[in-house]
Amino acid sequence: MQIIFKLEKASVTDIMKNLSNAPSDGAVRRMLNILYQKNAVDYYSEGTKKIYYSKIDAMLARRQALNRIVEAFFEGSSTLAIASLLQDNKQGLSSNESEVLLNLIKKAKKSGR
């Protein structure tokens, strides 16, 4: 999905060119078929090629994926997930990043989250 988000539309060949250690052509096609069945992508034909494009918003997809990760690895705790990210960040946060996070925390508190 990241490659499709980046390119906006992509063939199997395009996807494979953008993957380091790309799996087989068949594996990419199977994954695209799964995404198609889940209504995440659609395609149109361009000659003999299928051109895939996202049917979902990139930010929504990121949020859904992150929620699944938080549930699976951090017991559903955003605090544990954020703490892990901050502890593993070798460069630390810039003052701008810190400000953004503090504003988001304040906004969440005001809305009762």
Q: What is the CATH number of the domain that holds 10?
A: 1.10.10.10
Q: Among 32, 54, 76, give the residue marking a domain's end.
A: 54
C-alpha span between 14 and 102 (Å, rounded): 40
Q: Which residues contact 96 (CB under 8 A, 6 or more apart)?
A: none
Claim to verify: residue 43 and residue 65 sit in the same structural domain: no
- Kindly report the pTM of this predicted structure: 0.68
* pLDDT score, position 39: 93
pLDDT in tens, 14-69: 999 999 888 899 999 999 999 999 999 999 999 999 999 999 999 998 999 999 99
Whether pLDDT at 83 is above 80: yes
Predicted pLDDT at 54:
96
In this structure, the answer to whether residues 78 and 103 fall within a common structural domain is yes
Same domain, 62 and 21: no
